[in-house]
Structure 1
Amino acid sequence: MKEAYQINKVYSLVLILVGAFGFLARYYQVRDWQFTALIPLFFGVILYLCTPGIRNENSAIGHVAALLTTLLIITSLVMLTKGILGDISWGRKQWIFLIVILGGIWSLRSQINYFRAQRKRKAAKAKS
């Protein structure tokens, strides 16, 4: 799985599943609807909708996906450090943030490599 669109699709599905799991686990554990748990799910849906554009090498959609992924990584890092510093226990929420961060770094790395390869192809095409 080397293509950026494939990695984006997998990461978006992971976000959807993690968001749904966090939302449902919170409800079954505390009997409380916490809609902020759905944030990864919404990001996952948006990134999943970006997948065809990335596959068709639409650079604008690719940059939007990279920006959303970066925003999600930064937000998760802030929330993870806030959770670690605020509470010593390592719970469900911290694991979800860790999954989002690691998956985001994996996805962002593939998108950056994709952008570099796309620039090289365009430069080679311009020279010929």
Structure 2
Amino acid sequence: MAKKQKTHEWKPKRIVSVLGVAAAIFGVTQYFGYREAEAFKRGESFYDGTQCLSSWDGSPRNLVFAVEDKLKDPDSFQHIETRYNNADPKKIVVRMEYRARNSFGGYVVETAYGELDKNNCKVLRAW
């Protein structure tokens, strides 16, 4: 008895569902691209600034680098907490609390403030 070979048929329902998913994905990407372009025309940022914060501990990486450059012992830096305000359309204002070793070898808690550009996460100002 000969084995019956399986034939792969494309059923109309499968074709329609694949085309529907592709159209939905295309529509979503076009919508977000349009929103980003419109925000750019208005001189605003499409991003809300949270992409500048680490998904691991919430620290703003570029501000961490700026703070570590000024520490006596950069390896002793420990992030504690970050709070931010993204009400401004072009920048995000960040308050970062951290712990680091001082000249005497003891750890002290300090606070750093900074303004980051929402588009590219560069530090505009730090104090």
Tell me the TM-score range normalised by the shorter chain.
under 0.3
Structure whose CA Rg is larger: 2
TM-score, normalized by length of structure 2? 0.25
TM-score, normalized by length of structure 1? 0.25
Question: Which has the larger helix fraction?
Answer: 1
